[in-house]
Structure 1
Amino acid sequence: MESLPLGICEGMEHISESVFVGLCEMVGTSQQVTLRRESRDISEMVERRVTPFNAFIRMMSGSQREGFRLKGSDLDFMFWYNNHRVIMDMSQSEYYNTANTTLILSDSSESPPGFTLLQLLTRFTYNAVESALVIMNGKVFISSSKYRNLTCSEVFPNSTVHGPCGTGIVGRTEYDTAFCFVCDFWPSSASSWIDRCHSWPNPEVVHDILRSGCHFVAIGHPLGPNENQEWRISFSQAEYKLVYSMNHSQFLTYGLLKIFLKEVINQQSEETNKLLCSYHMKTTVFWAIQQNTLPHWCPQNLLAGFWICFKLLLKWVYEGICPNFFIPQNNLFLTKVHGSAQNRLFLQLHELYNKGLACLLQSSSIRAYIIGVLYNPKLSVHTDERLLLSEIDLDAELLKDPTPFTIFPEGLTKAMHTIEQLLELPHYQTVTLQTLTVSIFQSLAFIALNKCTNTGVNKQMYIADKMSCHMLLRATKFGCISDMLYIAMYYYRTLRYREALSVIDMTKVKLARPYLMYWNGVDKERYTEAMGGQSWSTKMRQAVVMDIILNNKIYYINELIPEQQYALQNSRFALRIPTFVMLHFLEVLCSRHFDTTLSQTALYDLQVLVHHDQDLFVPDLLRDISWEILGICQQITGNFQAALYSYQQSLTQQPMNRIQTATRRRIQDIVSQTNINN
């Protein structure tokens, strides 16, 4: 295996540059990837600081967190109780206040490398943990299998167990949610990793990783003595920080391996297409970089880097050993890559190896970038990323974070203070902070309204109204076109229907612009012509549309209170509503008080939109709430048969907003009402 039968080695540097450019188009330029990472990091930083001590912390992990947006990439999230901490030995308990923190002891004395038992030391805990407890040798432990089954559908109903996660599909996106426990200390079983970090990563990254600790996910070693009770040590946080520390050529090599796995390796046979996974590819890249097998990872050496990783993977499959990057004694191949399946996989990989880099021609995504250079050797390839990325591509990235978070009402003031401290951050993080600030202003405005509505004191209501209106107007200065609808909601809630309609009319004018950017839809030519060279704040106000997000702990308009209440009972902290649906909804609600013709026209427009839109203004993921809102409008206007149909349609959609209980209650109300009328 010493020789390098590349097959297409002539002009390899030129081909590498072409593949580099292709991967930048598929995976993203370094600027795009940095933007994705920084947006997510700053969101989680604020979220973590304001989450109550007795609530769940959420962390995105996996390929999306690393900066990938490859087609088919799933969403991975880890959740853990903020007030539960795992310690490695009893001496570490002195760092915690046991009056409000539940301590758990990691006991790996009888477990295989990379796994441990979790002993509950204090009984201040929650139902899910209490129900997962088992007694072993007179001590209380948390059973991983019980805990996994109890929390599998905590985030998304009807999830199924997959490894340590609950998994399923929302819309076209697969997700994995892992409920775990956090530890502030680096495990001693991974101490050898620290000693290996001579050339990569640098000391600052190593220090950051060490002080971030690790997690424990709910799955045991299949060959261990306590599989149902054991937990696996997870280095997900360390891994995405390692990926962050890669240069862009190294990151694209990792991306190329992921693509090669999906489009070539896993297409060889059904017997072997489940043996290797993306995690094995990531482990390969980690080892290849740290072992310094390629002195210069750059666009011209991209395919050389890929080949080094592929040879290392082939060696591992031959030996049946894939060493975990942090705990090498933990063989990631132990239960899958062995026996006849291992032999079959090795023969398939070796056949690809014998083809040399020509094996990449079997990748449908990569083939064109290789053939283009082979047929035209003098083709000029520019690897300057600034020439590969248009202004609109970068702008679109700012709207692509799939998981905006909702701040608990009690944490809004603290969130605002946190954001003020962070305003000197780089541009892209400032954009994220700006979006969070808009959300906070809107939430505070309706919280103030709800408090004063409850007290009924005129002077307080007057002061609160002035303050709320000011905050909502400020939000539109920082926010996008759709944020104007929060003002319309506020006016509707305070019975100022004509003022609300005036805001709706202004919003309509802006939404009619031909260069709007909403979800992935935008006319690039018109957007560039109208918005090119403008500041991001100007683009937000003039061309960007986002969904309407309603915090389910804050009431906005009475007609949606049942949906918010039942969604909250089902652990959904926000309703997400298409802007164009909310626009017509508010127009129906406001105009029916003095202009029935306008109300009927608005209802007709809403009906056409919900019935006939093709994932343009009503994204498929949000059709549950869209049909629901149409049904509410039809029910209000007395068209019960149409409302019943709309509610039934809502129940057949993806349960993105978890409003099914509210929908069923509305159906019952209609049935009861029509029976009474009959």
Structure 2
Amino acid sequence: MESFPTEIHQGLQHMSESVFVGLCEIVGTSQQVALRRDTVDIKEMVENRLITNDNLIRMMSGSRREGFRLKGSDIDTMYWFNDHRVIMDMSQSEYYNTANTILIFADSSESPPGFTLLQKLTPSTRLIEMTKVKLARSHTMFYLPVDSESYSEAVGGQSWFKRMRQDFALDIMLCNKIFFISELLPEQKSALRSRNHILQIPVFVMLHFLEFLCYRHIDTTLSLAALDELQVLVHHGRRPLVHKMQREISWEILGICQQMTGNLEAALYSYQQSQITQHPFFNIQTARQRRIQDIVQSTQHQYTEDLPLD
């Protein structure tokens, strides 16, 4: 009886060895598997170096990529354009030439394990995301000083010219003789009729405004998220992001976005706040009154349609 455990142990050991030998005959030894994997890596590396931006990149995946050769197993192969690059962080976009490269952002923050969301960065959205990254830096200066220690640590040793160019953010100045954004066309025309040639918009208000417009036809969720950020910014009017004299145009832009989404009640409130905080610097009251009239007429028309018929 005492030899029984020993016999079992020897039997299991012999069985394990037999299974290992059988697997090696089927899939190959560990050295063979590693050699196959390295061969595929080297082959693809050489092929991809010969590919221009106009060609497709081929990449083997699945069990064959891992070096296994299983009878009946399918062959998994991925193809993608050579001018497409996947980035995991928005800050990585600075290292690519977007003139000949299309960036795809992989966002796994809200995805289940093993999955990711891929978002193609158009030139407009890429520029916005890059701007958000730069403005989020702790040493970026607006109107008021930032933490001196963080600023010195970040820009120490740089010339004043480089500091001003990279680490100082000012308002967006739109020349009213040039129509940049169709949604702001009435405001620019209104200001121009009053001989106001500049429309000065806080940088974060413009950022969220453009983000809302760009994502509106691409991703509704991101567009509404941008509108939420704009609403929080304007409602709180936190300096130095929104100066007191800029609240009029900020409320106006918020109202435009809300009106575009069909939230007429919120838009009307924003236009009224824009009127309350109006500043002679902007001269956009004509455009605002027209927008308010459009909302009132639309509401009255809807109310008339909802009246019961006798």
For residue 570 of structure 1, the aligned residue among 163, 178, 194 is 194
Residue matched to 1:666: 291
Are positions 1:557 and 2:181 aligned together?
yes
Contact 2:255–2:267 at 8 Å: present in 1 too? Answer: yes
Query: Gaps (5+ residues) in structure 2?
Result: 1-96, 98-119, 304-310
Q: Give the 3-state SS of the residue equivalent to 2:124 in structure 1.
A: helix
Residue matched to 1:628: 252
For residue 616 of structure 1, the aligned residue among 240, 255, 258 is 240
**Partner Cα distance (1:497, 1:631) in 2:** 27
How far did 1:497 drift?
A: 8.3
**Letter in structure 2 aligned against 1:546:** L
Residue matched to 2:138: 514
Q: TM-score, normalised by structure 2?
A: 0.57
**Letter in structure 2 aligned against 1:556:** F
How far did 1:660 drift?
A: 1.3
For residue 644 of structure 1, the aligned residue among 268, 271, 278 is 268
For residue 163 of structure 2, the aligned residue among 536, 539, 543 is 539
Q: Pairwise mapping of residues 392-403 of structure 1 onto structure 2 (< 5 A)?
A: none
**Letter in structure 2 aligned against 1:658:** N
| 1:22-41 per-position Cα deviation (integer Å, ceiling 9, x unaligned) | xxxxxxxxxxxxxxxxxxxx
Q: TM-score, normalised by structure 1?
A: 0.26
**Letter in structure 2 aligned against 1:600:** L
How far did 1:529 drift?
A: 2.0
Q: Which moved more, 1:665-674 or 1:578-587?
A: 665-674
Contact 1:516–1:544 at 8 Å: present in 2 too? Answer: yes
Residue matched to 2:84: none
| 1:38-68 per-position Cα deviation (integer Å, ceiling 9, x unaligned) | xxxxxxxxxxxxxxxxxxxxxxxxxxxxxxx
**Partner Cα distance (1:497, 1:554) in 2:** 27
Contact 2:191–2:283 at 8 Å: present in 1 too? Answer: yes
Q: Pairwise mapping of residues 130-279 of structure 1 onto structure 2 (< 5 A)?
A: none
| 1:102-152 per-position Cα deviation (integer Å, ceiling 9, x unaligned) | xxxxxxxxxxxxxxxxxxxxxxxxxxxxxxxxxxxxxxxxxxxxxxxxxxx
Residue matched to 2:282: 657
**Partner Cα distance (1:660, 1:526) in 2:** 42
How far did 1:525 drift?
A: 2.3
**Partner Cα distance (2:247, 2:178) in 1:** 22
Residue matched to 2:222: 598
Q: Give the 3-state SS of the residue equivalent to 1:518 in structure 2.
A: coil
Q: Give the 3-state SS of the residue equivalent to 1:555 in structure 2.
A: coil
Residue matched to 2:148: 524
**Partner Cα distance (2:245, 2:154) in 1:** 30
Contact 1:550–1:574 at 8 Å: present in 2 too? Answer: yes
Higher Rg of the two aligned structures? 2
**Partner Cα distance (1:521, 1:609) in 2:** 19
Q: Pairwise mapping of residues 31-430 of structure 1 onto structure 2 (< 5 A)?
A: none
**Partner Cα distance (1:623, 1:570) in 2:** 19
**Partner Cα distance (2:146, 2:177) in 1:** 33
**Partner Cα distance (2:164, 2:200) in 1:** 19
Identity of aligned residues (%): 57
| 1:372-407 per-position Cα deviation (integer Å, ceiling 9, x unaligned) | xxxxxxxxxxxxxxxxxxxxxxxxxxxxxxxxxxxx
How far did 1:594 drift?
A: 1.7
Contact 1:521–1:616 at 8 Å: present in 2 too? Answer: no
| 1:160-193 per-position Cα deviation (integer Å, ceiling 9, x unaligned) | xxxxxxxxxxxxxxxxxxxxxxxxxxxxxxxxxx
Q: Give the 3-state SS of the residue equivalent to 1:537 in structure 2.
A: helix
How far did 1:591 drift?
A: 0.4
When the two structures are aligned, how many residues end up with a matched partner? 184
**Partner Cα distance (2:248, 2:262) in 1:** 21
User: Which of 1 and 2 has higher RCO (CA within 8 Å, sep 6+)?
Assistant: 1
**Letter in structure 2 aligned against 1:594:** I
Q: Give the 3-state SS of the residue equivalent to 1:661 in structure 2.
A: helix
**Partner Cα distance (2:275, 2:266) in 1:** 15
CA RMSD after TM alignment: 1.8
How far did 1:519 drift?
A: 1.4
Contact 2:125–2:215 at 8 Å: present in 1 too? Answer: yes
**Partner Cα distance (2:211, 2:121) in 1:** 9
